[in-house]
Structures are given as C-alpha cells and as structure tokens.
A = this chain, B = another copy of it.
Amino acid sequence: MQRKSFDTMPCPIARSLERVGEWWSILILRDAFRGATRFDQFEKSLGIAPNMLTRRLNALVEAGLMQRHRYSDHPPRDEYLLTERGRDFRPVLWALLAFGNRHFAPEGPSVVIVDGETGELAEPILVDRRTLRPLTEPPFRTVHGAAAAEAAARAQAASASTAAPSASPSSAPSAAGPASPVPAATDLSTASSAGDAHV
C-alpha cells in the first residue's frame, strides 16, 4: 500500500518522519552511531534483506543524514558515514532509548548512557537550552502557525541584540546546532492554524 507523503505537511514531526520515520532507518542510524559503516556490517547487525538495506541507505543519503564514500575502487566498495545532520539525530535516539528502558525492559536495561569519564549512569531528560528547565507541560506547550512565527521572530530579534549568541552551557552541535537562532517564519499560512498545537 502506497502511503501518504508527510513531506507536504508543515508539521516538523511529520517531516522528520518522512526522512527517518521507519524502523529500519532508525536502526541503521543507531548502528552508524555504534560505528558501523559498511553494507555487510549493517546487514549482519540488523538481519535485513539486502534490497531493503540498499533502499534505506539510499533514502538516508538522499535526506542528507548519511553520505556515501568510496573506500575501494578495485573492487568498488562504498561505506556510509553519518553527516552532521545525521549526528544531530542522536537526541531522538537517546530519547527513544530512555523510553524503551523505562517501559519495555522488564528484565533491566540492556543499554544505558553513562558518563565515559566517571562511569556514572546518565538519565536523559529534555530541557530548555537557555534556562535548563525541564520541558514539561505546563508551562511549556507547542504553538503553531502565526504564533510559532511570532515566537521565532522574537527569539531571533533577542538573539541578534546580544553580543554573545547565548549563555548556554552547551557547545554541542548535536544538541541544537551551534547557537542556531530559529529562523523567522515568513510564509506561514495563519488562517487555519494559529494558536495552540499541543504537540
């Protein structure tokens, strides 16, 4: 069955899913973070059919999350490397990891995140980059349409008016890109979608 394309939906969740919203793609990214680069490594780790693996790797390359790199000419062999965009997917993977450990690991977690220096267990939570407040509802909520455009424009203006881009403790590109001000929306349809989104 041909599924509907989510790419025409303005929702950023739908658009992300259009690129990576598939079991295999997400597990391929997981294995790439684990160090896998070659076709046979992914194939063996996932037990995936070769034609399906080819399709998913091509889609990830096309979406800019991985890049193809020829590492041998005779015989011709490619490897697949995470791009910066691909690396930026890690918070989603780690949020999934935490969710899985909490809800679907009755025998105890088989994978955890630790501080590599101290060996201490880390427990991922989502916070606001600037204030470090946990993103819970309330008070945080989603808005879309005109409200989203306004919030983004205000944030950009605030960011432009300060010398330092942010007082963030993070220099992590994987978290949100280096001091990326959210671009102001200029062409959003506001007629039917202004206000709360509660996503």
Residues of A within 8 A of B (CB): 1, 3-4, 6, 10-19, 21-23, 26-27, 30, 33-35, 47-48, 52, 64, 85, 88-105, 107-117, 119-145, 147-149, 151-152, 154-155, 169-170, 172, 174-177, 180, 182-188, 193, 197-199
Contact = CB atoms under 8 A, between A and B. Distances in A.
A152 B108 contact: yes
B120 A155 contact: yes
Contact of A141 (B113, B148, B170, B182): B113
Nearest to A24: B3
Given A14-B27, A110-B185, A132-B127, A155 B104 contact: no
Contacts of A48: 4
Copies in the complex: 2
Contacts of A112: 142-144, 148, 151-152, 182
Contacts of A97: 12-13, 16, 142, 199
Contact of A126 (B116, B126, B187): B126
Contacts of A23: 3, 6, 14, 17-18, 21-22
Contact of A121 (B18, B174, B175, B182): B182
